[in-house]
Amino acid sequence: MPPTTANPSARQTELLEAAYRYALTHGLADLSLRPLAEAVGSSTRVLMFLFGSKEQLVRALLERARTDELELLNSLRQADGPHGLAAAAEQVWSWLAAAEHRPLLRLWAEAYARSLVEPGGPWAGFARATVDDWLDVLAACQPRQERDAVDGLIRRTATLALLRGALLDLLATDDEPRLTAAVHRQLALLRHEEPGTA
């Protein structure tokens, strides 16, 4: 029986990191174990032993990608993090718009879409989990009175929709200046509507 991902061996961790770098370049949709094994200096037999199945390996790669995403989210939760939706969204957009994050975000978009059209298998629940993750961190940046109000949920949902829509456009066009200008314009409106700024 292969080792569980809860207590990975050093070799499993090493191969997961190598496979993750491969996935950032090649994606997961048509992942084939033989080219992957060659690229990471292993064999399909070793990968199957360590991860159990191709599905479990893909799931481990999705979890690894989510770790990078959650790293950003956790930074927003810090005491010295941004206060208010506009400030949080501005910081998030700066991270999303950075060219060095495109491979991770393309992988995220691929997994998000697959989760919608193939709700079973390793993609199961991925899209919903990321929506919940982002709404949760945006809520943490809202003042308690706003966060707990019905309008608070609507405002953070609209903020998430702005960020997700701009991100998909960015991945499709690579037109960062246009999208950053559009995001900043919408965030200026959001900031103007924040409690205490009227």
Report the amino acid identity of residue 40: V
pLDDT tens across the length of the chain (198 residues) = 344 445 678 889 999 999 999 999 988 878 889 999 999 999 999 999 999 999 999 989 988 888 888 887 777 766 565 678 998 899 889 999 999 999 999 999 999 999 998 888 888 889 999 999 889 888 988 888 888 888 999 999 999 999 999 999 999 999 999 999 999 999 999 888 776 554
Domains and CATH numbers, the chain: 10-193 (1.10.357.10)
The pLDDT value recorded for residue 74 is: 76
| pLDDT digits 0-9 by tens, 158-191 | 999 999 999 999 999 999 999 999 999 999 998 8
- Cα separation, 128 vs 38, in Å, equals 33
